[in-house]
């Protein structure tokens, strides 16, 4: 599990997170992550939970990522979550 709440991590930082093959839960509350950075997460099929509250990620970006990671539950910026 990796919590990055309130950090300055942005899109480029996600490039390093994809190198964590055992990561199951990634929490990105109140970060600088945008839809552009989600490309770095698309190959992380082991992820079970992703949360994007307080980020610049949009519902469109999350929907696209959900297609790449259909087994991952994602918490959206508006408080909704996707079902696994």
Structure confidence at residue 76 (pLDDT): 77
Query: Model pTM?
Result: 0.87
Structure confidence at residue 79 (pLDDT): 53
- pLDDT tens for each residue of the chain, 84 residues long: 999 999 999 999 999 999 999 999 999 999 999 999 999 999 999 999 999 999 999 989 999 999 999 999 998 755 555 544
Give all domains of the chain, ordered by start, each with its CATH number: 2-75 (3.80.10.10)
* 3-class secondary structure, 38: helix
Q: What is the DSSP code (8-state) at residue 68?
A: H
By the 8 A CB rule, do 23 and 47 touch?
yes
């Amino acid at each position: 599990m990796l919590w990055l709440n309130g950090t300055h991590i942005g899109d480029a930082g996600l490039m390093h997170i994809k190198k964590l093959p055992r990561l199951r839960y990634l929490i990105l509350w109140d970060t600088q992550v945008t839809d552009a950075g989600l490309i770095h997460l698309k190959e992380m099929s082991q992820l079970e939970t992703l949360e994007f509250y307080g980020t610049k990620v949009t519902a469109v970006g999350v929907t696209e990522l959900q297609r790449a990671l259909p087994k991952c539950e994602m918490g959206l910026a508006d408080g909704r979550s996707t079902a696994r």
